[in-house]
Amino acid sequence: MDKEETDEFDVPDTNAGSADDDWAAAMAEQAQADATPAAGAQAANIFPSFDEPGNKASLMNELDMILDIPVQIAVELGRTKITIKNLLQLAHGSVVELDAMAGEPMSVFVNGTLIAQGEVVVVNDKFGIRLTDIVTPSERARHIGR
């Protein structure tokens, strides 16, 4: 090996000090993060506690905001399928047979989701529905998965 070949490998590394500095800075940053776990725990505690009496009133005030949101309620008496020809022949006084039997519970939908069943009642010459069975949230979630 002559001198030119060995000089090629003897180049001094000027970045060695900066790599050590970067490593030291990263280690210091990690040590600082490990020393302050309370900051991370505090960020996770952004939701109000239900145990504190003052928070119950503020929670109710926040829930009051949604009380005026309109929802669509529909009561389904039954269903049927007919041809377009029969649909066009319907007139005042026509009777359309539904698949539900008289006395069966009627389904109550809120925004398209089944929430209850009930029976038809007449109050002051208007139809209404008396709820007989309310669907629990867990049952609603089970029906969504189907």
Q: Render pLDDT for 37-69 as a digit per residue (tens, 0 to 9).
A: 554 455 556 665 656 555 666 667 777 778 888
Same domain, 57 and 79: no
Final residue before a domain boundary, out of 23, 40, 69: 69
1 inside domain: no
Final residue before a domain boundary, out of 27, 42, 69: 69
Nearest to 113 by CA among 78, 139, 132: 139
- Taking the C-alpha atoms of residue 106 and residue 132, their distance in angstroms, rounded to an integer, is 10
CB atoms within 10 A of CB 61: 9
Range of the domain at 31: 15-69
Task: Name the E strands within 2-69.
Answer: none
pTM above 0.75, yes or no: no
Mean pLDDT of 86-109: 87
The distance of Cα 140 from the centroid of its chain, to the nearest Å, equals 13
Same domain, 78 and 63: no
